[in-house]
Structure formats: C-alpha cells, structure tokens
Amino acid sequence: MVSAGVAGAALLLANKSFERKLFAFAPRAVASDSHIEILTGEAIGAIAPEIYGHFVEHLGGVVYDGLWVGEKSKVPNIGGIRKALVDALKKTSPGLVRWPGGCFADSYNWRDGIGPKAQRPRRTNFWHDAAEWPTGSPDGPWKYEPNQFGTDDFLHFCNLVGAQPYIAANLRSLNANDFYEWVEYCNSPAGSTTGSDIRATAGDREPFNVQYWGIGNESWGCGGNFTPEEYAAEYRRFTAWVPNYGKRLAFVGSGPNGGDLDWTRRFFTKLNERRALGSMWGWALHHYSWNVSGGRTTDWRQGKGDAVNYNDEEWYELLNQADQIETLITNHWNVMGEIDRSHRIKLVVDEWGAWYKPGSEANNSHLLGQQATIRDAVLAGLSLDTFHRHAEKVGAANIAQLVNCLQSLFIAHEDQFLVTPTYHVFDMYSAHQKRSAIRTIVSSPPAAYTRNGQPATMRALNGSASLKDRQLTLTVTNADLKNAREAEILVRGATVTSVKGLSITADDVHAHNTFQDPRRVEPKAITIAQRNGPIVFSFRPASVTRLDITLA
Ligand code: AHR
C-alpha cells in the first residue's frame, strides 16, 4: 500500500483493484499550504534532449562488469554490451553519453582501443592508485585497462540507445595532433583517409559523425593542474583548425569546479584576447553533492555520508547542496555574459550527482560504486527541474555515472542487474525532452531541520513544467521528509481537461533496490479526478511526481 500522508481533504483511496494507484480529489475543505502557478504564455526555451545525458568513464565497474560484458559472455549482450542496460536506457531517451572520462580521459590513448581486440595493449588505469579504493580491491580491468571497450564499441553503444556521443579529448598527456586524428578516425568520409580505412577494416565504413568533443577534463585539477590562462592557450591550440569534414563540431571547454567564478572569468577573458571564443559551443560545470556534515568540516573524506544509512540532517544537507546548482548556473552564466554578450555559449553540467563514502558498492571492484535511495531520486528530480527552469542556459548535462559508480541509473555485477530510483526519475522526466520549458512559480512552506544544533530550512517543493501542443508536463519534488504538501495548481492561460501521472516515494526513506528485491522502490500511477477550478494535489513527503496535464 502506498503511504501518502495526504493533507487536508485530498483523499487517498485504496482497495484491491486500486493497489498501485493514488487518487487525489478536488475540491477540498481546507486551504492548500502550497501553490504552483504555470504561466503557459511564458516560454523559457526548448529543453535540449542533451540535458538527459550520461557519463561512462573507465573507472571501477562502469565499463567492465557494468556496460561491457564481452561478446563471449553468458550475460545477454549485443556485441559485448550488456543487453538489459541497453533496453532499459533506451526507454528513457538518453540525449548524450560522455566518454571515456573524467580524469581517465586525460590519460587515455584512443589508439589503444581500436583494431583487433586480441592485439590491444593492456595499460595501467588512471584510477589504479586511487586513494578511494575500498580495502582489498582485487586486480582486474578496473586497475589494468585491457582496452576491450574502445571508440567503436562506445559509438555502437550510443547508436544502440539512440544517444549523441560526447568524447573527451586527452589534453594533458597527448598532443593536439592526436586529437585531430581521433576526429579523423571518427568523422572522415569512407575511403578518404588512413583513419577512415582503419575504421572500415574494423567494420564501420561510414563515418560516425561525432559532434560533441570535450577539450580535456577538469583542467584545473587531474586534467593538468593548469591556471585558467594556461588552459586557454592549450584550448586554443587543440581547437584551432580541427578538420571538421563538413560538420560543425561542438567543442566543450573544461569549466569550473563548482562555484569557482575566477576560473570562468579568467578563461573567458584570456580566450577573448585572441578572439578565440567562436569555436566554443559549451562550457562544462562540475557539481557534486557530497558534504553532509552540516558545516562541521569541509574535508573531502570526512564530509561524506553513507548512501543508505543517513539521518534527517544528512538528508537535507545533501539535497540543499544539490539545490545550489541553480545559483552556480546563474552565477557562471552571468560571468560568461560579461564576455560572451549574446550568450552564444551554453553551460554543460558535465558531471553532477551524489557522492557518498565507500561501503555500499555492489562489489569491491566497483570503485566509487554506491547504492541509491529515494533521496537520490529527489536529488535527480530537483536537478533536472533546475536545468529545465534554465533551459535557455543549459545545453547539456551528464549525471555521474551511468552504472556502478556514484549516482548511477543501474547497478550490475556479472549476470545481476537492477535499475535504481534515479533511473525511474530519468524515465518519468524524459517526457519533458524537446518541449518548451514554461515559467512555473512554486511556493510552499520550507522544510525545517536541525543543522549542527541550529534551526535550518530548505525549500520543500521544487519543480518545472513544459508544454507541447496541448500536453503540459509538470514535475515536482517534495524534499520534506515528514510533511506532505498540498498544492493548488493553477494553469494560467489554458483550460485543463484531464490529469494523470506517476509518483515515486518509499515507505522507508532508506529503502533501496537490491538484486534480491529489485522493485522495492519504483513509481506508481496516480489519477486525479479533475473538477472545475484548480488542480489540487498532495505531494507526499520525500517524493518525486510527474503530472501529465491535457489542455483543452
Ligand atoms: O566522476 C568521477 C570523477 O569526478 C571524474 O573522473 C572527475 O572528472 C571528477 O572529479
């Protein structure tokens, strides 16, 4: 049975045939405590499918044991790629997949991953010496890269799931010419270059036409420890006169770590001195939510919490950090606009998600692997809603990472596979893609909690709406752990004819899907009996909801 915590007279009905459905009725006896106003006449911009992007790095169990099982595996696969993952991901219409890293990208030689698999070199993986390894990690492909999954396999995977590939170039340890030849290998017409001949011998005569290219990764850190000025010079060298084979390439600059506005301002200023901003399509921003210490520490290890066992303060601290993405987007956007006055360059939220301490990974070879609860679902929903509300600024975004690492959509080990609550949010929210984001004002009493002994709050309801023809989609997260929020939903400038939807929550906020119980946390259908007047719906505590509203 669904636990709804319905406030006022919004009514939860349940009987045998309604077991998986939540009903809410208008009108009600008492005033709602929350309000949502959807201004159908105020379009923000089109929601880019690329906002529904993913990230695949050669790290721990992401590629080997996660995505790639090999052609000879007993695990059902398509050319070595885990079939269950392809089928599930495809259903969510993924816009983009970023590969091969991450920090790994700046140590990767793409030539190691092409040609006959038996002849490919084995290399020491960038993450081999990672301090984060849980104790006693075994040797294996996560430490010694066998290069069995390379450029062709990645691009086949993108084709299988219908996503655009986004390849991160190695700027730290290879030369610009190596990058040009990678572009040549992927994009030069059949029969035109040695690169295209090698590609054809491997089985792909026609070019892959990769459009999105990242120019390094975290160049302020693992990508070379550059100053913004040094990185600007490298960026220029890498992007000047790259052969484009008739396709406009979309270069993404290695942007700031969270709120580092200095990195953005100095890079843009330096690049502009040589009038070199024209080649840049996107500016990458990385933002992880990890510090649940309530301000007691800023230490990268001490500040992290457990993926599953958390208290109320840790719940709110993590979600409050995720909510900061809105300020980061606005602040970096404003700084970019000081130089890029017409705002031609988009923000790419290149890596985002929750980062917990080790301990909940499905297997000890899964470096940075972690479990996922309804807290992660709320984090995913509020982040995606934020991207929609800034659809004119955010051109792409990649949750970190796709499988077996950080805030994953999937957890897999050998022949076992499950989808996480985060997956369900991507599935629910994919309805927004390509639609016009509509200005939506959400107001509710804040959720109150105790932060390091002091009273603190965070916004409870958060959301976004989008419109295509007569179909309006509203998604809402309720971050309040204890209280349902009954909202009066007003659709300005249109008449509502019907409302239905989906909602995900959990009877225990620590509940998670396991290989033994893979459907413990999943969405349930909701039906709203629409009468005259506003829609009234009670958003359950710790929940993510999508309402499909049909207009007259
Ligand atoms: O996603 C894990 C790592 O986090 C990536 O490799 C790096 O870019 C970031 O610091």
**What pTM does this model have?**
0.94
Helix (H) or strand (E) holding 123: strand 123-124
Atom of ligand 1 nearest to the CA of 406: 1
Average pLDDT for 85-110:
98
Question: In 240-311, which residue ranges form alpha helices assigned H by DSSP?
Answer: 261-273
530: how many CB neighbours lie within 10 A of its CB? Answer: 18
Average pLDDT for 411-421:
98
Residue 343 in tokens:
């705002």
Q: Residue 453 region, left (φ>0) first, then alpha (ψ -120 to 50), else beta?
A: left
Q: Find the 168 Cα to ligand 1 centroid distance in Å.
A: 12
Q: Which of 50, 145, 181, 218 is catalytic?
A: 218
Measured between alpha carbons, how far is 289 from 303 in angstroms, rounded to an integer? Answer: 11
Q: Which of 217, 348, 352 to mutate to test the pocket of ligand 1 (most atoms within 8 A of CB)?
A: 217
SS3 at position 251? strand
pLDDT > 60? residue 391: yes
> Regarding beta strands 416-419 and 410-413, do their DSSP bridges make them parallel or antiparallel, or are they unpaired?
antiparallel
pLDDT > 60? residue 2: no
Name residues whose C-beta falls within 8 Å of residue 546's C-beta, 6 or more positions apart in sequence: 428, 429, 431, 473, 474, 475, 501, 502, 503
- What is the pLDDT at residue 28? 46
- What is the pLDDT at residue 6? 27
Atom of ligand 1 nearest to the CA of 103: 6
Answer whether 422's CB lies under 8 Å from 376's CB: yes
pLDDT > 70? residue 24: no
317 catalytic per annotation: no
Answer whether 252's CB lies under 8 Å from 212's CB: yes
Average pLDDT for 30-40:
90
Nearest CA to ligand 1 atom 2: 102
Q: Which of 104, 222, 370 to mutate to test the pocket of ligand 1 (most atoms within 8 A of CB)?
A: 222
1 pLDDT band, cuts 50/70/90, is very low
- What is the pLDDT at residue 4? 29
Q: Identify the residue whose tokens are 């990195």.
A: 263
Answer whether 526's CB lies under 8 Å from 23's CB: yes
Measured between alpha carbons, how far is 546 from 93 in angstroms, rounded to an integer? Answer: 17
Average pLDDT for 531-542:
88
Q: Which of 317, 351, 486, 488 is catalytic?
A: 351
SS3 at position 490? strand
Average pLDDT for 434-456:
97
Measured between alpha carbons, how far is 272 from 45 in angstroms, rounded to an integer? Answer: 27
Nearest to 166 by CA among 208, 207, 213, 209: 213
Measured between alpha carbons, how far is 379 from 392 in angstroms, rounded to an integer? Answer: 22
Measured between alpha carbons, how far is 381 from 460 in angstroms, rounded to an integer? Answer: 13
Question: In 430-549, which residue ranges form alpha helices assigned H by DSSP?
Answer: none
Atom of ligand 1 nearest to the CA of 401: 1
Instruction: Check the CA dihedral 284-288-289-293 and report its sign.
Output: negative
524 pLDDT band, cuts 50/70/90, is very high
pLDDT per residue over 150-196, tens digit each?
999 999 999 999 999 999 999 999 999 999 999 999 999 999 999 99
* CA–CA distances in Å: residue 402 to residues 201, 305, 452: 30, 21, 33
DSSP type of residue 68: B
Question: In 366-504, which residue ranges form alpha helices assigned H by DSSP?
Answer: 374-389, 421-429
- What is the pLDDT at residue 32? 87
Question: In 15-150, which residue ranges form alpha helices assigned H by DSSP?
Answer: 83-91
Nearest to 442 by CA among 464, 469, 427: 464
- What is the pLDDT at residue 533? 76
* CA–CA distances in Å: residue 196 to residues 152, 204, 219, 257: 12, 9, 30, 37
Residue 101 in tokens:
């890293």
Measured between alpha carbons, how far is 218 from 287 in angstroms, rounded to an integer? Answer: 11
Average pLDDT for 33-46:
97
Nearest to 184 by CA among 250, 110, 86, 88: 110
| Cis-peptide, bond into residue 102, ω within 30° of zero | yes
Nearest to 288 by CA among 350, 382, 352: 352
Average pLDDT for 30-51:
94
Measured between alpha carbons, how far is 84 from 417 in angstroms, rounded to an integer? Answer: 8
Q: Can you name the residues that pair with 528 across neighbouring β-strands?
A: 24, 499
121 pLDDT band, cuts 50/70/90, is very high
- What is the pLDDT at residue 136? 66
Q: Which residues have any ligand 1 atom within 6 Å of their CB?
A: 57, 101-103, 217-218, 351, 400-401, 406
DSSP string computed for 381-404: HHHHHHHHHTTTTEEEEEES-SBS
Nearest CA to ligand 1 atom 5: 102
Measured between alpha carbons, how far is 68 from 153 in angstroms, rounded to an integer? Answer: 9
Residue 308 in tokens:
């599953």
At residue 209's C-alpha, the angle toward residues 410 and 215, to 5°, is 70
Say which range, 18-22, 85-89, 252-256, 505-509, has the weakest mean pLDDT.
18-22
- What is the pLDDT at residue 537? 94
Question: In 362-464, which residue ranges form alpha helices assigned H by DSSP?
Answer: 374-389, 421-429
- What is the pLDDT at residue 237? 96
Nearest CA to ligand 1 atom 7: 102
Nearest CA to ligand 1 atom 9: 102
Mean pLDDT of the chain, nearest integer: 93
Average pLDDT for 68-73:
97
- What is the pLDDT at residue 19? 30
Measured between alpha carbons, how far is 13 from 162 in angstroms, rounded to an integer? Answer: 40
Name residues whose C-beta falls within 8 Å of residue 24's C-beta, 6 or more positions apart in sequence: 6, 10, 11, 12, 526, 528, 529, 536, 537, 538
- What is the pLDDT at residue 71? 96
pLDDT per residue over 188-229, tens digit each?
999 999 999 999 999 999 999 999 999 999 999 999 999 999
Residue 29 in tokens:
């006896």
Measured between alpha carbons, how far is 240 from 279 in angstroms, rounded to an integer? Answer: 8
Answer whether 353's CB lies under 8 Å from 407's CB: yes
pLDDT > 50? residue 277: yes
> Regarding beta strands 77-78 and 81-82, do their DSSP bridges make them parallel or antiparallel, or are they unpaired?
antiparallel
Question: Residue 451: is it exposed, middle or buried by C-beta count within 10 angstroms (0-12/13-18/19+)?
Answer: middle
10 pLDDT band, cuts 50/70/90, is very low
Nearest CA to ligand 1 atom 6: 102
Atom of ligand 1 nearest to the CA of 223: 8
206 catalytic per annotation: no
SS3 at position 158? helix
5: how many CB neighbours lie within 10 A of its CB? Answer: 20
Average pLDDT for 388-414:
98
